[in-house]
Structure 1
Amino acid sequence: MKIAFRSDIGRIRLVNEDRAWAQNQDNGCAVAIVADGMGGHLAGEVASQLAVDTFRESLNGKELTALSLEERRSLVHSAILQANEVVYDMASRNDQYHNMGTTVVAVIAGQESGVIGHIGDSRVYIWSKGSFEQLTEDHTLVNELAKHGQISQEEAANHPRRNVLTRALGTDEQVEVDLIGFDWAPDDLLLLCSDGLSTMVSDDEMSAVLERDERDLEAKAEQLVELALQAGGDDNITVVLLHHAGNTEQEG
């Protein structure tokens, strides 16, 4: 598998509160995580860094290819719950971190299938054979309103409260983690991103970048970030791409 990663502070924010990590593991498994922090002065970047570090440490020493799909689901679930505990504990013990939290979207991808763990509005998309699909569902107030028919999808995209989360990691002692399974095949692409990409760049624009054969993975990640910047760069922008290309070296 090939991996590319880009993060940019954007044009408005003074601090990049996004954090990400991605790596090829043993025998063709890949792992990736994106976290978009929130909170007061510096608290957002603390929350997202703690979440990524805790998730990464939870996977240390695990032989991922030896695990069944159900065991991978359990591992992603427990790693994210551990991250929630760490962030919540830090926020509870330090006034300057009060109420800090983060989104999280994490993937363990094998050769034929994978598992996503998800809290918040960072997303995972899959590009496969020309189709582009969002695999995660945003945990936002606006998405709840749209799901129940109270506002249209067009209204949701431009709603003034579209960034209000209904669920985040670290803000409560207990949290529910969405677990999503997916199948993929050679030449498929996974895109993990913070909302700094998905609120600024349309699905059609993202899909068009991913399907261009002339661009390597690094160039595709760079182009996605550039599109978000050209659209205004209102937020931090983070992109992780996983390309199902067999047992290949990591690109970025």
Structure 2
Amino acid sequence: MKVGAATDIGLIRMMNQDSYYCSSGVEDPCLFIVADGMGGHNGGEIASRVSVDTIKDFIQGNYQKPEYQKDRLLLIKDAMNKANSIIYGLSMEDPNLRGMGTTLTMALIEEERLYIGHIGDSRMYLLRNGECRKLTEDHSLVAQLIKNGSISPEEGENHPQKNIITRALGIDTEAEIDLDTLMLQQGDTLLLCTDGLTNMLDLEDIIGICSSGDSPQSISEALVEEANKKGGRDNVTSIVVKVGCSE
């Protein structure tokens, strides 16, 4: 497989509170993570970086353990729960960091199987045969309102409370994590991204750029550049993984 990643502070924010980790695509574990932190006094930056580093280290350190070899979703869950506990503990120790947290969306790929861990409103998409499927559910107030029919998807686009998330790592002692798994196919493209991308670009823009035939690195950079062209109102991060591509 081939991979690429890009991040940018955007045009408005004073600090990049996004963090990410991107494997080379050739070594095990094949791991990809995006996180979008929240909180003042550098809290968002700390929360996202701690979450990514903790999960990366936990998965790399425990990948070969028998109990996790037979249950990769348990590996992801335990890694995310450890990150949650560490971030929450840091926020309790320092009043300036109280309330900090982070979204986190991660992909672990083993042969043709994709394992997903997710909390918050960062997203993962699967592009296959020209079609795009969202693999994660937004844990946000607006997503809840749309789901229960209180507002339409169109009304949600410019809702004043669009940025309120209902789940995150580090904001409580327990984290409610979404886990999923599916089989990948040769030619699939995965996109992991923070909401700085999806709030700026519509799905047609994303599909068009991801279907360009360029390298994953060029696609990642093009997505970030286009988000900034459309206003760059937030930090933006993208990871692109092309499955079945040799180096």
Query: Which residue does the alignment assign to 1:53?
Result: 53
Aligned residue pairs, count: 247
Quote the offset at 1:62 in angstroms: 4.0
Quote the offset at 1:211 in angstroms: 1.1
Quote the offset at 1:218 in angstroms: 1.2
Query: Which residue does the alignment assign to 2:132?
Result: 132
DSSP 3-state at the match of 1:149: coil
Report if the CA contact (8 A) 1:26-1:64 is conserved. no
Query: Which residue does the alignment assign to 2:144?
Result: 144
Q: Aligned partners of 1:52 and 1:27: how far apart in 2?
A: 18
Quote the offset at 1:61 in angstroms: 3.5
**Cα RMSD (Å):** 1.9
Q: Aligned partners of 2:68 and 2:84: how far apart in 1?
A: 24
Report if the CA contact (8 A) 2:32-2:108 is conserved. yes
Q: Aligned partners of 2:65 and 2:156: how far apart in 1?
A: 40
What is the TM-score normalised by the length of structure 2? 0.95
Q: More displaced, 217-226 or 141-150? A: 217-226
| Pairing 1:6–2:6 present | yes
Q: Aligned partners of 1:173 and 1:75: how far apart in 2?
A: 19
Query: Which residue does the alignment assign to 2:243?
Result: 244
Q: Aligned partners of 1:243 and 1:18: how far apart in 2?
A: 22
Report if the CA contact (8 A) 2:7-2:238 is conserved. yes
Change (3 A) 1:7 1:27: closer
Change (3 A) 1:204 1:66: farther
Quote the offset at 1:44 in angstroms: 0.5
Superimposed CA distance per residue, residues 197-224 of structure 1 (whole angstroms, 9 cap, x where no aligned partner): 01110111101111112x1211111110
What is the TM-score normalised by the length of structure 1? 0.93
Query: Which residue does the alignment assign to 2:42?
Result: 42
Query: Which residue does the alignment assign to 2:222?
Result: 223
Superimposed CA distance per residue, residues 48-94 of structure 1 (whole angstroms, 9 cap, x where no aligned partner): 01101100110124446988886111101110000000000000111
Quote the offset at 1:30 in angstroms: 1.8
Quote the offset at 1:144 in angstroms: 0.3
Query: Which residue does the alignment assign to 2:122?
Result: 122
DSSP 3-state at the match of 1:145: helix
Q: Aligned partners of 1:243 and 1:153: how far apart in 2?
A: 30
Report if the CA contact (8 A) 2:63-2:69 is conserved. no
Change (3 A) 1:228 1:142: same
Query: Which residue does the alignment assign to 1:196?
Result: 196
Query: Which residue does the alignment assign to 2:233?
Result: 234
Report if the CA contact (8 A) 2:91-2:100 is conserved. yes
Q: Aligned partners of 1:152 and 1:70: how far apart in 2?
A: 42
Report if the CA contact (8 A) 1:111-1:185 is conserved. no
Quote the offset at 1:111 in angstroms: 2.4
DSSP 3-state at the match of 1:57: helix
Report if the CA contact (8 A) 1:127-1:207 is conserved. yes
Q: Aligned partners of 1:87 and 1:93: how far apart in 2?
A: 10
Q: Aligned partners of 2:168 and 2:29: how far apart in 1?
A: 27
What is the identity percentage for the equivalent residue pairs of Structure 1 and Structure 2? 38
DSSP 3-state at the match of 2:108: strand
Q: More displaced, 181-190 or 115-124? A: 181-190
Q: More displaced, 165-174 or 65-74? A: 65-74
Change (3 A) 1:230 1:65: farther
